[in-house]
Amino acid sequence: MKNVFLYVIGAVVFGYVLFTFIDASANDQSTIKGRVIEMISFDETGGYSAKGLQTLRVKVLTGTYAGEEVVIENHFTDNPAMDIRVEKGDTVVLYMDERDEVTFHIIDFVRQRYVFAIVLVFICLLLLIGRISGLKSFITLTLTGLIVIKVMLPLILKGFNPIGASSLSAAVITILTFAIVAGVNTKSLSAIFGTLCGVLSASLIAYVTGSLANLTGLSSDEATMLVYIPQNIEFDFMGLLFAGIIIGTLGAVMDVAMSISSAMYEMKSINPEMTTGKLVKSGFNIGRDIMGTMTNTLILAYTGSSIFLMLVFLAYETTVIRIINMDVIATEIIRAVSGSIGIILSIPATVLLSAFLLNKYGVRSGSTAGKQ
């Protein structure tokens, strides 16, 4: 109980430090926070999507003008997706324009407190229920985020090949995760091998299929925006597409590989006389059970991210042939199916290497740091 209490206290302290650090670093002199203290007037000419104007009194909370009250005109367009409709008491993000005279504009709601709150709840539950395993998971999750944000993305932004950068990042993430969670033994080595086989095969299949299908890699608005970034980098958009597949598939394939490897490891530790043939048979049986749900996981994840687009197609009764041949849809189908193929191929790779290593070296090969 004492350790659990320390884990939770550590999580709260970490969350507070993270919140304070990001909150401070996010407040520059042009993007600041404010709170709506009064709605002076609200002129709306029609329904929800009509043009209109809110005149607001806002108290500036951060920056050079912190503590001052300013009057802001918040204009509405005929596009509800672009409108920011605020009420008294809302905390908002302000843009300060100092070109001719100092003026403020509302550009978004402040949402970070809720984001940080749910992240903190996640960390507390991870440590409270998982204890030492949860702590290891938290460490690997942090390392994964750092590798993606501080290594992979900067390399791509500097012009490095996105497939190479993502493949290297995936390999480092896989090795560190399994080494920390399971230790250095036959279990982790098999899981690492199975994961890399699955992820890289998924990327290769997607690359070949995407090239034959003439995918552009520009099927999303975000990809198109990269064309106009100030760095003037000539991105390999096909490469970026498949880099996304590598990272997007990684988590699911890691889950499958470790589940199979861990189960075979436990079977061998319980029955040291178990033959290679029986281990392989049992491993494949476990893999088949996992495969049915994990392939659904990827398909449903990509389907969920495209639900708005599918509703549009349904509303306009777009034909199936037209839908399948669209760049954005073909991209998502290839992304989901190639990821599922990666999961399937990780199963035999993990099973065969696990059986070989367990019968050749036993369950005590290498470090036993991962044993609980």
- Tens-digit pLDDT profile for residues 320-369: 888 888 888 888 888 888 888 998 999 999 999 999 988 888 776 444 44
Q: Is 177 found in the same domain as 103?
A: no
For residues 63 and 201, state if they share a domain.
no
Would the pLDDT of 37 be above 90? Answer: yes
171 and 319 both lie in a single domain: yes
Tell me, yes or no, whether 144 and 267 share the same domain.
yes
Do 334 and 188 belong to one domain?
Answer: yes
Q: Quickly state the pLDDT bin for 126 (edges 50, 70, 90).
A: confident
Q: Would you say residue 301 lies in a domain?
A: yes
Tens-digit pLDDT profile for residues 171-186:
999 999 998 888 888 8
Say if residue 175 is in the same domain as residue 272: yes
Q: What is the pLDDT of residues 309-329, one digit of tens each?
A: 888 888 888 888 888 888 888
pLDDT value at residue 366 = 43
Would residue 122 count as lying in a domain? no
- What pLDDT, on the 0 to 100 scale, is given for residue 297? 75
pLDDT at 248 over 90: no
In this model, does residue 370 exceed pLDDT 50?
no
pLDDT band at 285 (very low <50, low <70, confident <90, very high): very high
Q: Do both 57 and 185 map to the same domain?
A: no
Q: What is the CATH number of the domain that holds 68?
A: 2.40.50
Indicate whether 103 and 135 sit together in one domain.
Answer: no
CATH number for the domain harbouring residue 167: 1.20.1640
3-state DSSP of the chain: CHHHHHHHHHHHHHHHHHHHHHHHHCCCCCEEEEEEEEEEEEEECCCCCCCEEEEEEEEECCCCCCCCEEEEEEEECCCCCCCCCCCCCCEEEEEEECCCCCEEEEEEECCHHHHHHHHHHHHHHHHHHHHHHHHHHHHHHHHHHHHHHHHHHHHHHCCCCHHHHHHHHHHHHHHHHHHHHHCCCHHHHHHHHHHHHHHHHHHHHHHHHHHHCCCCCCCCHHHHHHHHCCCCCCCCHHHHHHHHHHHHHHHHHHHHHHHHHHHHHHHHHHCCCCCHHHHHHHHHHHHHHHHHHHHHHHHHHHHHHCHHHHHHHHHCCCCHHHHHCCHHHHHHHHHHHHHHHHHHHHHHHHHHHHHHHHHHHCCCCCCCCCCC
Residue 17 is assigned to a structural domain of this protein: no
281 part of a folded domain: yes
pLDDT of residue 293: 77
User: Does some domain include residue 178?
Assistant: yes
Determine, yes or no, domain membership for 2.
Answer: no
Number of domains in the chain: 2
What is the pTM for the complete model shown? 0.77
Full residue range of the structural domain in which residue 181 is found: 131-361
User: Do 95 and 228 belong to one domain?
Assistant: no
